Amino acid sequence: MGYQLWVSPLTGYRRKGTKFTALKDIFIHNVTANCIYEPLLCCPVNSDSRNAKKALKIRNFDVAGVKETKDGPVIGYVAADDIHDGDFKKYINEIGQELIISDSTPIAEIFALLSSRSFCFVIYGNNIVGIITRADINKPPVRIYVFGIISLLEMHLNSWINHFYPNNSWVSKVGNKRMDDAKKLYEQRKGNNQELTLLECLQFCDKRDLLKQVDDFLGMFNFSKNKFKIYMEKAETIRNELSHSQNSIISNLEWNEFIKTMEIVEKFLIESDTEVERIAKGGSDFQDLLI
């Protein structure tokens, strides 16, 4: 369907489901903490310290809640690494409001919440019912959300390459070996796919390098060449982890780098959406902008 997938060529109307904000809204309204939290293992308040630590280690849990009675409310929590010999009660920590989120908290917000802490407790009604840790971002609902964002990013990069390199003028900017690889992949993938383009078969890093050379593009989104290169390299790392179905999508990035990269990508997509619509509604140049 080409560029018409994004904007109507006749009216300039932006089609549903093509905006980043639309993707984010799907997850805000439908995919929440309730989809990924784990039930909270709890220890009795009068536990033996060594037994409690052993129980947590066997289950590979870093944190457990604490209850006075089996059916009572959670009154605090303990961290496995903090527990040693002696009175168990001295290892109990208070659960502050900053550690609590609702079971309806959108996944899109959980990234930021976990940037300053490694876990948070999930509350349903008035009761703490579960826990979310950074490891939970590797679960399918979160991976799908991240994959959607990274896929949109690559679509936008393709669009801007078409815009700033009309009539496939980008081909002469790519090394012979990289072009040969892209052409081979194109021949393998095209089959009956009439809409597949050679650009779509180019490696992510090549697309990054093409746009890094365009000052108008960098200025439009307030990137320096170096910053654009750095953030696209990190986005590519996330993309590769997802594509190769790694157990952890952040195994090659520090948590804060992952969070920052996702924030930069989201900001770029929102601004790029705005520019796409501005040019498309102008009616003069949108057919080579939108693929």
> pTM for the complete prediction?
0.81
| Residue 10 scores a pLDDT above 60 | no
Ordered structural domains, the chain, with CATH:
2-30+140-282 (no CATH), 37-135 (3.10.580.10)
Roughly what angle, to the nearest 10 degrees, separates helices 140-164 and 204-212?
40
Of 184, 173, 181, 187, the C-alpha closest to 203 is 181
| Residue 129 scores a pLDDT above 90 | yes
pLDDT digits (tens, 9 = 90+) for 152-164: 899 899 989 988 9
| Residue 289 scores a pLDDT above 60 | no
CA-to-CA distance for 195 and 172, rounded, in angstroms?
22
| Residue 102 scores a pLDDT above 90 | yes
Share of the chain residues as helix, strand and coil, in percent rounded to the nearest 5:
55, 15, 30
Mean pLDDT of 89-107: 93
CA-to-CA distance for 93 and 59, rounded, in angstroms?
20
Mean pLDDT of 162-187: 90
Confidence (pLDDT) at 14: 56
Please give the share of the chain, as a percent, with pLDDT higher than 70: 86
| Residue 1 scores a pLDDT above 80 | no
Task: Find the angle CA(51)-CA(119)-CA(123) to the nearest 5 degrees.
Answer: 95
Confidence (pLDDT) at 290: 45
Q: Sheet harboring 42-44: ordered strands across?
A: 42-44, 63-67, 74-79
pLDDT digits (tens, 9 = 90+) for 186-226: 888 877 666 788 898 999 999 999 999 999 999 999 999 99
Confidence (pLDDT) at 222: 95
State the chain's mean pLDDT as an integer: 85
Please give the share of the chain, as a percent, with pLDDT higher than 90: 47
pLDDT digits (tens, 9 = 90+) for 254-278: 888 999 999 999 999 989 988 887 7
Which two tokens mark 64? 């457990």
| Residue 52 scores a pLDDT above 50 | yes
